[in-house]
Structure 1
């Protein structure tokens, strides 16, 4: 089978490392296309960079330059969580690289809003107009990350995620910069995967995000926020199906 390219863009406090189990599962399912897992500046292989002055469009351009340089074409572009603010810019900046996009439990602010506007500063439930947070950062980063990432993970899995999450940091613009999706999706094919037991993005909010994106296909899976760690085979099945049909 002539499988097309797939690009997997990680979310906040993660790097390309988080996709390892999913890539392995996709290969076990017989997927033969190229699978690319770029690191966002400040994460994974790009840790330690000064990212203070970066803007969202510059992140999109850097990732697209890397993908173009390795011959990516006709790709399914997949993004998780915070990557939702970058994927539309990647498509708008270099539409020839991609033929469809899949948003995995991603944060999608309204046009003119930032992720910080979307979440607010309070714990969930205090301000009904904002998502809120499942835990306070004042409780310490380990407890904060555990509330967001640990559900369904084994202790060994969370140890790996915590170690990396403490070192991986997206540029500040990803949270603070207002987003604009000019012309997206247009005629572009877009799917969204809702994670039904998500401690960060409640399913009702994910439904709103899917509407904002104008999705053409909606999936729902019974997992927390990190299915690439906790349920890689399930996620791989959906990604392979989407890459081959969407």
Structure 2
């Protein structure tokens, strides 16, 4: 559906792996400062959509425009430089590097000349205490904070979060939810989140986009997922 001030515009997008089409004719608009959750059962193409937006999977047809720029044929590095940050499912931190070394890589997002560590520590103070620790020795929740912090060390305009609650203890999930809202309220950062955790979806999302069989099949408000029948229908919970 059309939205005011669209920062990310996806039009008739199709992508997949080889000859297997996974994302099927998706059109989606996201406003600056909006938090949109992509929901649906496992295997419907949510992660493939995220990887196509960031440029890890090429679009077969359709277009992706970010801040008015057609990025459809740009590689993932150039999209990151334009301000698209991506935290993949499983976090993907560099386990053999320290926290400080991981954060230093945040300059790849946006046009930052050096990592903005003060900003990161304002959201994740634990990382300041762990700068010399190897990322691989951290808990799953701490690694998730590091993965998000690494993106925030740059200058993102939008963050793509793929299942940030996976393997994370409940108290840190709550912290991540509060931080996502702060990012929007304090910095007007845009967030596109793929998630199955109902509490996190309801806590952060402005609206939910429903995917099934690679296509967007509907849209609903987060509080509608309080209905167990709706949750079962959309998430197979």
The structure with the greater share of residues assigned to helix is 1
**What TM-score comes out, normalization by structure 1 length?**
0.32
TM-score, with structure 2 as normaliser: 0.33
Give 1 or 2: higher strand fraction: 2
